[in-house]
Structures are given as C-alpha cells and as structure tokens.
A = this chain, B = another copy of it.
Amino acid sequence: MDNPIDPVQRLVNELKKLPGIGIKSAQRLAFHLILRPGEECLALAEAISHLKADLVLCSRCNNVSGMDPCQICTSASRDSRVVCVVEEPCNVLSIERTGVYKGLYHVLHGAISPINGIGPEELKLKNLFERFKEGRVEEVIVATNPTSEGESTALYLSKLIKPLSIKITRIASGIPVGSDLEYADTVTISRALTGRQSF
C-alpha cells in the first residue's frame, strides 16, 4: 500500500510531517476525513493553503495576522496604555484565551539566547521603542517564558525601559493552579515564596 498515487497514503505521508503526529495518528486522521462530508475536508484544505498567503506580520506589534495593523492593534476596545511583550505569536493566543487581558501586545519573535547565537539585535525591538515614543504606553508587562532565555530577555528589557519612566512588570511565576507542592521543582517553589502576595 506504500504507493504515492494512493490518496490515503499521500495524505498520511503529509500528516506524518506534523509535530506530535505519528503514523497511527496520521492514519486515524486520514480515515476520519474520509468519513467526513466533502465540504469539511475542503474547508480544512483551504484554511491550510490560505494560511501563508493571507498572513502578514503586523508592523506595530509583529503578531501574525490577516491584516496590517492587526485586529488587536486597531481595536477600539483595547487599552493602548498597556503593552504585553511575548516571545512568539502563539503566546498571544495563549493570553487571549484567558480573556482577562485587554491591552495590546508586542511579539519579539525570539528570546535572548547566547548559546544559540541570538542577541538583542535578533529580536524585533525597534518598533517597540517607536511605540514608546508616541507617549501613550504607561505599562509594559513582560510575559516572556520563565526560562533562562525568557528571564534574560526580561532583564534586558527592564534595563532599557526603566529610564523611559514607563512602569515595567513581569508575569508571576509559581505553582500552577490545580497542581501540588509535592510535584513542583525547588526553583518554582522558591519563586512562589518570594513572589508571595498579601491577602
């Protein structure tokens, strides 16, 4: 059956290239699609093929979007006084899912990582400071990951932003909600302790 002409085999081969999808998952997905209505398959196929064509980087916040400036940057309901700095476009989606944040974003497209040869000049920082010059930004929330790369980036940003008399904050690190102290590593517990809040 390993025939590239075979439509099922062809799809399985393509699906296998996706992260976290092995041969069995690829086959399950392929046979699922066979049983779905034709329009559902077409909708998926079109969403994939249009992805790259329709996608642009927002010139203000560097997020991937269908338009420039993006929906978030142009939205009247967002608080333009707060900018949340994240490493990657997918982090914007993670924060948007919570529904609690109403400010704007800035995507760095990376984090400082000397071991991988990524310095501050590799990050998309230029248009962030251009936004500060407009004088509307009052707070920068640094939401880079709590990894050594993310922390270095946060530290670097704080050194640059503090002199501009803009408030700069860092997202909290600690025990994840629903988790147990028993399973948390020592660094996370230390962070949870130093970042403790009064009732």
Contact = CB atoms under 8 A, between A and B. Distances in A.
Contact of A18 (B19, B32, B89, B93): B32
A192 interface: no
Interface string A1-44: 11101111011111101111001010111111110001011111
Contacts of A104: none
B34 A28 contact: no
Interface stretch (A64-72, A110-118, A166-174): A64-72
Interface residues of A, number: 57
B93 A1 contact: yes
Give me the 8 closest cross-chain CB pairs, A-B, nearest first.
Answer: A45-B49, A45-B48, A7-B54, A11-B47, A14-B44, A45-B45, A31-B90, A14-B47
Interface string A67-94: 1000110000000000000001110111
A42 B93 CA distance: 24
A138 interface: no
Given A6-B65, A64-B34, A66-B6, A92 B1 contact: yes
Contact of A28 (B12, B14, B19): B19
A97 interface: yes
A180 interface: no
A51 interface: yes
